[in-house]
Amino acid sequence: MKTSTLVLCTAFFAGSFSAIAQQAAWQPAPGHVTLPLWPNAAPGAPANAPAEADMTKPTDNLIAGRPLVRLGNVSVPTITYYAPKSSSTSPAPAVVVFPGGGYQILAIDLEGTEVCDWLNEIGVACLLVKYRVPNTGPYPKSPAALQDAQRSLGLARQHAKEWNIDPGKIGVLGFSAGAHLSAALSTHFDKRLYDKIDAADDLNCRPDFAFIIYPGYLANAEQNMANNTEIKPTSQTPPSFIVQAEDDPVHVENATNYFLQLKAAKVSAELHIYAEGGHGYGLRKTKPELPVTYWPGLAQAWLDNIKVLPQIPE
C-alpha cells in the first residue's frame, strides 16, 4: 500500500481513530491498517459505554497451555487488514474473521490474530473484525453484531483495490458465536440492518465462501435441537466449510443441522465431525494432540478445491 494512501486514509478517519485510541484495550501489532467500521457512532450505540477491557481472569482456562485475550466492552468496532505473505502482484483472496466469545467477549488472539497469521501464510489476506460486545447477538435478539458484519463486507469490497484483494473472493471465517455470525451473514446479506452511511453500503455484503468453525446458536437445545428459524440457507448462500467435535458442550447438532440445511438448499458444503476436541481450540494444538488439530490443512485444501487460492500452473 502506498504511503500517500495511508496518509489520506488516516486523515479522513482522524476523528474516529481518536475515539478508538481512547477506548481500545487491544491494538493490532504495528504495521497493520485499522479502520473504524462506522465513521461516527455505531447504530444504536449507548452513551457513556464502559471502556474496552481485557476480561481475562487468573482463574480462566488456558488453551494448549497458553492464555488468551478475552476482550470485552467493545463499543468502537474496527476492521484491521493483514497482508498475505506472497510475492504475487495479483489481487489476493481475503477472509473476514469474526472471533468467538458468546457475543459477550472476543477471543481476539486465539480466534483472531492467530487465524490471520495462518491465512497470511497460505497467501490469503485477513480482515480481522473487532465487533461490538457484549449482548450484541445472536440476531434477532440484537442486530448489532450482524450490522457490524454487514458493514465489514462492504468496507472490504470498497477498499479491495487499495488493499490488493479480489472483491469476488472475499469469504468469512468465524468461531463459536463468530461462526453463527458468519452463518447469519451468509443468510442475511440482501438487506442492510441499518440506514446507509456511505458508498460502502451500496456494495454487496454477501460472502463468497464461509468457514463455520464449532458454531453455536444454529440448533436450539431447548427445542430438541431444532433448527434456528432465523438462519435459512437458500441457493444464494455461499459454499461453506464446517467443523465441530462430537463432544463439544455447545452441541454438535449446530454443525450437522446447518450442513443439512445447506444440502437441502443445494449449496456446496463440506462437513468435518471429530470424536473429540471440545470447544474453543482455535488453531492451537490440542493436548494430547487430537485429529481435530489438523482442520486448517483440510480448510486450505477446500479453498484450493473451490478455486479461491491462486492456481499454480502444471
Mean pLDDT for the chain? 92
- pLDDT value, residue 3: 39
User: CB within 8 A of 196, min separation 6: which ones?
Assistant: 202
Distances (CA, A) of 200 to 43, 153, 154: 15, 9, 5
CA–CA distance, 43 with 223 (Å, rounded to integer):
32
Pick the residue with more confidence: 198 or 16?
198
Pick left, alpha or beta for residue 156 (phi over 0 → left; psi -120 to 50 → alpha; otherwise beta). Answer: alpha
The string of pLDDT tens digits covering residues 158-199 is: 999 999 999 999 999 999 999 999 999 999 999 999 999 999
Distance CA 137, CA 184 (A): 10
User: 56: Cβ–Cβ under 8 A, 6 or more apart, which residues?
Assistant: 67, 68, 69, 70
Output the nine-digit C-alpha cell for 304.
Answer: 484450493
Say how far residue 117 (Cα) sits from the centre of its chain. Answer: 14
**Averaged pLDDT, 141-161:** 98
Rounded average pLDDT over 212-216:
98
What percentage of the chain carries pLDDT values higher than 90?
85
CA distances from 23 to 19, 78, 110, 177, 283 (A): 6, 11, 21, 23, 28
**For residue 8, what pLDDT band results from cuts at 50, 70 and 90?**
very low
Topology at the third CATH level for domain 3-305: Rossmann fold (3.40.50)
Q: How confident is the model at residue 23 (pLDDT cuts 50, 70, 90)?
A: low
pLDDT band at residue 273 using 50, 70 and 90 as cut-offs: very high
* pTM: predicted TM-score of the whole model, two decimal places: 0.92
DSSP structure string for 58-116: TTSPPBTTB---EEE-B-S-EEEEE-------SPEEEEEEE--STTT-EETIIIIIHHH
Q: Return all residues near 149 (Cβ < 8 A) that are at least 6 apart.
A: 96, 98, 129, 131, 172, 181, 182, 184, 185, 205
What is the predicted pLDDT for the residue at 288?
A: 83
